[in-house]
Structure 1
């Protein structure tokens, strides 16, 4: 089905005719003879819309409109009016009605309004879902936001690995959220109540790296005026997160390997062994196997760190998450800055979907903040050398992915939504390397 619609009209012949038109177009329709019957079907989570006549005995369409908007101010209500009711319908628009249709009307006029209203409702429900995810602090969806298949898979992997004691290596591009994933591995596991200690290996000067990681005793070196507990010792009982682990000096790699093997460490300037119990989560941008072959990383340490590997998908591989993520970050920025988040225009949304986001989520956050401040269009300019044809191809591919996601892989619904014949749709999917099976619900069959 393409969406849910409640039709309200006291005249049975009109009610049944409208119901039939909508059902033939693929909508799931509930027909009601009056306001009371319709109100029993609607709550704040109702995913569809309401089409109601204005002139009805008892509660008329305007009273029904008021009661529906009291339940949910964002519920689209389309009013059907006689010729003499047009001034009243215009007033109803000011009160929150989505649209009004004057009798007599064609099926095409009704279908156009229903399609637009359902699209608005879908976006409202998706945005609410995102806000609900963000509000549930004890659920992983609040930290790893997204509705795409790659994000669903990542959340599932994180939850599975969070319960194990194994060390994990996280692979991902700059700005893709490696520390966020590391934090989830800690927060959703048995060490959640213990310290989570993060260290960016590429940001620590080599001269103080050993002290930073292992700690030191007073007088261990010039300037060491008092004892200092290192990051490893501070993480005892919890999790040590080594970001950009490829930047760790070779000399310290040897010492870290010994800590992982023996579960003890010695502070710089001390011969006393200190027992430590920790889980190590590492993150790297380059392939560490390549770093091993280049002699910049120890192979034996790599085997200790990558007992399990998590790959974070770049934003360009989960473009269906971009509108939801952008809305979330824009809302956060608006609350922090004390401003309203301006709505996206269709052109701006197309720009978001067509951009490759080399800076990933970090770049998207920046774009959302600039959008709230009114400093620029939310999507940066396409990379130099990207032709118009290439940009159009990328946008077409994303439209196909969005339609398949929305229709849960149902090809007939995708054809209707995009108004494409089967052969054309198949050719476009093949050209863009899009597989319908990636969008089927779990356990779904392979019938079109």
Structure 2
């Protein structure tokens, strides 16, 4: 240690301020503690140095660092006991252990417990800095935004990428107006999440935000869902139904997958946007509505217009401002951040004590292709969360989830509910809304079939067809 300065060791809990990430260093060897502090400060880190596990836990209560670097041999509680305490209170905080040769007989067991990595003394300075950089890049916890803060509008969007920062800056600017916004991006990139953020950042934040997937609702039902209907407007209309435009009055309506809207409805939507009035099906009265429109699509609308599948006048009405979300493959710095964020949420859902991902598992996640973007990442994390039997998610489980088709994980009750509704819709479309025929195909009596339809909000009149093809309920301008 002859190359060290003669000044006394940095006192416990003394923090050397530097602009970089904050590290907590724990070692009872005064010379080693001073050397580590000098090296890490020179590398741009802000260092807090303490000499015991007890002092480290006290410091953690004062300020949470971004990484803990600790010797294994400490007076009183050792480094592994310190790690256990840290993991219990801060499960996403990465810990690197320094050990004399042979101190940890089974390094694999240590990393399985959740220790990010360990280095054997004497260690190479470059290796130490590389391990710290890797731990910070892979294990950084998701940022938290306090309610009421200027950033609270985006508190559901987890990101640190420059691409997303640009999108969010533009979103915040457009949120201050009532201009219609078109969100473009591949499926699963988070278009609805961004739409909600725009709503929260604007003057309509206290009013309703309603989203409708224009491609997921059968055409006969979509018109009624959007504009509403009055009792007796068509067979099966047994009560007045308020449409989504009226339900969103004063707030924001997200028309998701607008590119899948049937051409006939595009005309009616354009009229509503121009007149700011809706007329429920079967009504002679138009109702004024004050709704901010955000639309979203994964389709190429320019190509759809060229092929005559999307109206140009509607496109220009919707596309006052365009925001494009990057695919997950172009914001890889967010993958580990999102994976840990989802893991915390899903561990609570599945009532499991999960401390994080093994380092090699995080590397596998950050290098995967992700054609399904953030939605696929969420589904993969949910799969490993549901199947994990250890606190630290291993590489093998992540590889298994990445190889298998990424499907949404539903409870059995949720899956049955979804299947049942899709099955009823299919039968009613097949029989043009004839309940007797549909019940016969389902091998159920009419009373039971009507009860099932009522459960899922279906009416036979919306599936009626005439000789010219599927019939919409009486249209109103």
| Bin for the TM-score computed over the shorter chain | 0.5 to 0.7
2:402 to 380, 386, 391: 380
Distance in 1 between residues matched to 2:365 and 2:116, nearest whole Å: 27
1:316 matched to 2:329? The reply is: yes
Does the 8 Å CA contact 2:22/2:65 hold for their aligned counterparts?
A: no
- The more displaced of 114-123 and 220-229 is 114-123
- 2:370 is matched with 357
Does the 8 Å CA contact 1:22/1:111 hold for their aligned counterparts?
A: no
Tell me the TM-score normalised to structure 1 length. 0.66
Distance in 1 between residues matched to 2:184 and 2:132, nearest whole Å: 42
Task: Summarize the Cα distance change of 1:80–1:290 in structure 2 as closer, same or farther, 3 Å threshold.
Answer: closer
- 1:46 is matched with 65
Please list, as runs of the form range in 1=range in 2, the aligned pairs for 1:19-418 lying within 5 A after superposition. 43-47=62-66, 49=68, 62=76, 76=95, 106=122, 108=124, 112=127, 116=131, 119-120=134-135, 126-127=140-141, 129-130=142-143, 132-133=144-145, 139-341=152-354, 343-374=356-387, 376-378=397-399, 380-381=402-403
Distance in 2 between residues matched to 1:25 and 1:119, nearest whole Å: 14
Task: Summarize the Cα distance change of 1:381–1:14 in structure 2 as closer, same or farther, 3 Å threshold.
Answer: closer
Local SS of the residue matching 1:357: coil
Task: Summarize the Cα distance change of 1:252–1:158 in structure 2 as closer, same or farther, 3 Å threshold.
Answer: same
Task: Summarize the Cα distance change of 1:221–1:346 in structure 2 as closer, same or farther, 3 Å threshold.
Answer: same
Distance in 2 between residues matched to 1:381 and 1:99, nearest whole Å: 27
Q: Deviations over 1:308-346 (max 9, x none)?
A: 011111111111211111122122221111123364344
- The more displaced of 221-230 and 303-312 is 221-230
Distance in 1 between residues matched to 2:363 and 2:259, nearest whole Å: 37
Task: Summarize the Cα distance change of 1:220–1:350 in structure 2 as closer, same or farther, 3 Å threshold.
Answer: same
Q: Which structure has greater helix proportion?
A: 1
- Greater relative CO (CA pairs within 8 A, separation 6+): 2
Distance in 1 between residues matched to 2:146 and 2:221, nearest whole Å: 39
Does the 8 Å CA contact 2:25/2:68 hold for their aligned counterparts?
A: yes
Task: Summarize the Cα distance change of 1:133–1:123 in structure 2 as closer, same or farther, 3 Å threshold.
Answer: farther
Local SS of the residue matching 1:170: strand
Distance in 1 between residues matched to 2:347 and 2:115, nearest whole Å: 27
Q: Deviations over 1:217-269 (max 9, x none)?
A: 22221222222111111111111111111122222212211211121121112
Q: Deviations over 1:70-112 (max 9, x none)?
A: 898768586798x9xx89xxxxx9xx9999999xx6563x664
Does the 8 Å CA contact 1:168/1:282 hold for their aligned counterparts?
A: yes
- Give the C-alpha shift of residue 201 in structure 1: 1.0
Task: Summarize the Cα distance change of 1:34–1:356 in structure 2 as closer, same or farther, 3 Å threshold.
Answer: closer
- 1:416 is matched with none
Distance in 1 between residues matched to 2:27 and 2:343, nearest whole Å: 37
- Give the C-alpha shift of residue 275 in structure 1: 1.0
Task: Summarize the Cα distance change of 1:76–1:216 in structure 2 as closer, same or farther, 3 Å threshold.
Answer: closer
Distance in 2 between residues matched to 1:230 and 1:100, nearest whole Å: 60
CA RMSD of aligned residues (A): 4.4
Does the 8 Å CA contact 1:7/1:29 hold for their aligned counterparts?
A: no
- 1:390 is matched with none
Task: Summarize the Cα distance change of 1:17–1:298 in structure 2 as closer, same or farther, 3 Å threshold.
Answer: closer
Task: Summarize the Cα distance change of 1:207–1:64 in structure 2 as closer, same or farther, 3 Å threshold.
Answer: closer
Local SS of the residue matching 1:202: coil
- Give the C-alpha shift of residue 116 in structure 1: 3.8
Number of corresponding residues: 365
- The more displaced of 348-357 and 44-53 is 44-53
Local SS of the residue matching 2:398: coil
Distance in 2 between residues matched to 1:350 and 1:79, nearest whole Å: 22
Q: Deviations over 1:347-378 (max 9, x none)?
A: 43333223211111111111111111237435
Local SS of the residue matching 1:174: coil
Local SS of the residue matching 2:221: helix
